[in-house]
Amino acid sequence: MRGVPVAVITEASPYWNPDWASLDEFLSKEDEEAKAKIHYQELAHIQPSNKTIRDRGKRHQDNMSKYHKIREIFGPGSLYHPNQVLAKCHFPPDGICHKEIMYRLACKVSELRFLQERNYLAMDPWDFIRWRIAIKVQEHLPHPGSTASAFIKSAIVKLCDLDEPDKPNRFADPLMRAAVVLSANLQNRPNLYKSGVKGRQKSVSRISTSPTAPSGVRKPGRARGRPPGPSRPIATAETRDERRREKRAKIAAALPQSTYQGVNAWRAKREAPNPRD
């Protein structure tokens, strides 16, 4: 990060390299992409069985999604510029303002921003990405003074990917991946990133905020509690009242009779003349 300006750069900044691909020029082509998308959508309605037209329409539609995300994160008024992710000595001659690189960075900023807004992340999302990329670059520099220009694009693209036995990824960063996976899960998009477990995975259901919502659905099987016994005849209200009276009478008869009848009775008994007198 040595020498990188703190404030966002523009193409008029002293830090700017005139050989770099232009972010402004890239964004200016969004209207052309939108027209191409509409054109192939219209052709697809006319020739719905033409796979070539459908594929081209899908590609232009995907490109428009990428344009929107890149403009959202790096467009006018942004505090970030792709060519400030690291010191420019680590960039190829044309910089890194290319669609796929910028789209990857923009998506990660968006994921981390979601965490920051919910207090899962204290750092600025852009600073977090720069930190993780810088650490990964340092791991692969052969000696002091080396640059990452030969592999910086791969490091950015593969930073959040898995490192699997059948598909090794030397640029995988577990902390960065854990952050974006957490963000995806919180947004109820658990399938956005591969789990690394082979086989079809069940998606995580949305957590309900209702206090009366059940915690989960039980699997079919043996019901809880004791097995049901023989059904009893339904008693009427009169029958129940009669049973209560009989039960109370039995309890009263079983209790010993008390001789205490209250304070007034005790005083009357005390003041009454003794027949022996």
Q: Does residue 260 belong to any structural domain of this protein?
A: no
> What are 117-139's pLDDT values in tens digits?
999 999 999 999 999 999 999 99
What is the identity of the amino acid at 79?
Answer: L
- List the Cα angle 43/46/49 in 5-degree steps: 90
pLDDT in tens, 189-246: 988 887 765 543 343 333 333 333 334 434 444 443 434 444 445 556 677 777 777 7
The pLDDT, as a whole number, for residue 256 is: 53
Q: Residue 226's pLDDT is what?
A: 39
Q: How many domains does one find in the chain?
A: 1
Range of the domain at 130: 23-192
Distance between first and last Cα of the chain: 118
Q: Which two tokens stand for residue 164?
A: 């699997």
| Residue 12 belongs to a domain | no
In a domain, 75, yes or no: yes
Rounded Cα distance, 96 and 20, in Å: 8
For residue 264, being part of any structural domain is answered with: no
Low-confidence ranges of the chain (pLDDT < 50): 199-232
Residue 252: predicted pLDDT: 60
Spell out the residues 6+ positions from residue 135 whose beta carbon is closer than 8 angstroms to its own.
173
pTM of the model: 0.69
For 163, other C-beta atoms within 10 Å of its C-beta total 15
Residue 107 lies in a domain: yes
3-state secondary structure of 188: coil
The answer to whether position 32 is within a domain reads yes
Residue 95 lies in a domain: yes
Contacts (Cβ under 8 Å, ≥6 apart) of 171: 136, 140, 151, 154, 155, 158, 159, 161
pLDDT of 206 reads 37
Whether 90 is covered by a domain: the verdict is yes
